[in-house]
Amino acid sequence: MSVIEGDAKGHAGGDAGGKHAAELLYGVIRRLWPLHRTVVRAVEREVKDAGMTAGEHALLDALRTEGPRTVPQLARSMDLDRQPVQRWVNHAAELGLVVTAPNPAHRRSSLIELTAEGAEAIRRIQDFELAELRQRLADLPAGDVRTALRVLDRLGEEFRHLANDSRMSPNETDTHHTDRDHGRKDRQDARITDTADTTDATDTAGIADTADTADTTGTADTAGSTRAPRKGRSGK
């Protein structure tokens, strides 16, 4: 039985079941922001000796997972505005962790890719993180983790609709899931074919920083808000 079915059943039965069912969703949502801040603090502490921020950690992770990308592609995949991502790219380039490379799809828009040093840095960091997760969360069943991923994906998708002020009429409900599946495919395709690259002539790491203008999205740059002093290129 879904949360909504439990909500309807509770109301029909005249008891508090409906309220409790809705509170389950609110309980998840209430925990997300404190969890995000805690994770950011933990990552900042972990990478500070390398002179990195949590945002730059996320950048290296995205490049390791997805391969070379333009700044707009990275921003879309991280669901952030371009300005903070550009700053992270520029600082990572200063540390020797990323470089620009020619983009076969668009000659005026450079790709950002990991250097050998950057690939080794994120591999070493994530090996440590995985060891910590195994030690601290080994008692969590894999099925529970998969369920958590599905719930978080769904919440992210629905709140993205709210953030974009999208609305659905009741008769659109039946087609919502099909449309959402098509939307996922479209977003995946967008990561490969960057239709915004016609405006990306200045997206080169450490060369033309278009991101140092005022950041209008304070929450978007949360992960990279605290920068540790640079310790050198070795990451040690």
Q: How far apart are CA 164 and CA 166, in angstroms?
A: 5
Report which DSSP code applies to 193: S
Q: How do residues 56-71 score in pLDDT, each as one tens digit?
A: 999 999 999 999 999 9
- Residue recorded with tokens 């921003």: 75
Cβ neighbours, 10 Å, residue 196: 17
Q: Using an 8 Å Cβ cutoff, are 140 and 149 in contact?
A: no
**The residue type at 17:** G
Specify the CATH number for 19-165; select among 1.10.10.10, 2.60.40.290, 1.10.1740.10, 3.40.50.150. 1.10.10.10
Q: How far apart are CA 85 and CA 59, in angstroms?
A: 8
Q: How do residues 18-59 score in pLDDT, each as one tens digit?
A: 667 788 888 989 999 999 999 999 999 989 888 999 999 999
Half-sphere exposure of 173 (CA within 13 A, CB side): 3
**Sign of the CA dihedral 203, 205, 208, 213?**
positive
Q: Using an 8 Å Cβ cutoff, are 98 and 85 in contact?
A: no
Cα separations in angstroms, 29 against 94, 109, 110, 142, 233: 37, 38, 38, 22, 39
Segment holding 113, helix H or strand E: strand 111-114
- Residue recorded with tokens 């369920």: 147
Q: Is the pTM higher than 0.75? A: no
Asked if the model's pLDDT at residue 8 lies above 90, the reply is: no
Tokens of 220: 């978007």
Cα separations in angstroms, 233 against 68, 94, 96, 217: 21, 9, 6, 30
Q: How do residues 148-201 score in pLDDT, each as one tens digit?
A: 999 999 998 988 888 887 555 444 544 455 555 555 555 545 444 444 444 454
